[in-house]
Structure 1
């Protein structure tokens, strides 16, 4: 009889443990929140692209949401300063001139000289340019900071023997200089130059507007709209010159 009682007690104890486990003895697992749809870094890049395109209202709306979600995000704070603070206060009063080259963009120059492409909007405002910024070769910009030092000229070693000067060769007839090549038609670049020229004209920069519209006319010679805008800009430039 004692053996049977022991078996019954063991079965009852096992059932009690099973009921305890089912009744909530084991803690519930907490649900893990899904990851955000887009990272803060990617959102900052998207906001910077909107600013570069001149869509300030849309950029402010998305920037406000990003700062609400991630108030200490350095990229978001940088873009917020780019919109609301004085660019000379952000980048410093000292600057040096830079002459733009073919292929230069305001974003590329910000990455090259300021170390951060997100500062392109600051660099544009620093130079009084309104987005979207279209740069033309030969345009002079102010770059914040100190101009890079030129590399020192290497002098020849005086210890080494100086080679004997070579005998001068008889001067050959110089070939005639080739005629300057005509600019290749590029309607897309012409439209961009015309847009920038009209923006400069609206801002009162008549000489810059004339230069940009001349470039647009050279890139798309048969465009009547560009020819009309160029003629109007030249008339305004002549009027301004006569009044001076």
Structure 2
């Protein structure tokens, strides 16, 4: 009887173990947390905390990332932004700049300092209590030398009206060819010889010259004219004596 009960108890115990082995554990399992790494998003998160006024949150994240990459230049820049004097970091010399509509301190740092991560340094440089929003027309001190504005090219001079080209001078008329008229020349020759016979030497020379002009190739007229001119020269010479 005792052996029967013992056998029944062992069977029940084995059945309980089988049921326990098939049952599922419904308790939530722990979720694996990804390891902390240095990423651009986490560096931006430090900058965002600083500009939002959460210095403690920025310091906590910065300290954790520096343990991973102590020589990271961006992390070192942000660490300097927290600890060092902004005058020492950016220099004492500065110039005024007027904030334009829609500009943020990050925009100004990126454009005028060449690095958006220097926004917190620039805010401390200007002793800004409120960093998140700038007011259009607000004047900031920007470290360094004021950029020299490039001279604008002078507008092109108005084109002068061109003077009209002087009109070409009319060509000088060609000398008129002498009119040849042998008949008229003979008539003048006869008048000239008659005047010479009368002793009107000057009249004779004039008539014979006209005759020669009307018939320049006539040898007789040329001979008579030459004789008349010689007589005229003799008369003038005798008159001077």
> TM-score when scaled to structure 1?
0.49
Indicate the structure (1 or 2) with the bigger Cα radius of gyration: 2
> TM-score when scaled to structure 2?
0.49
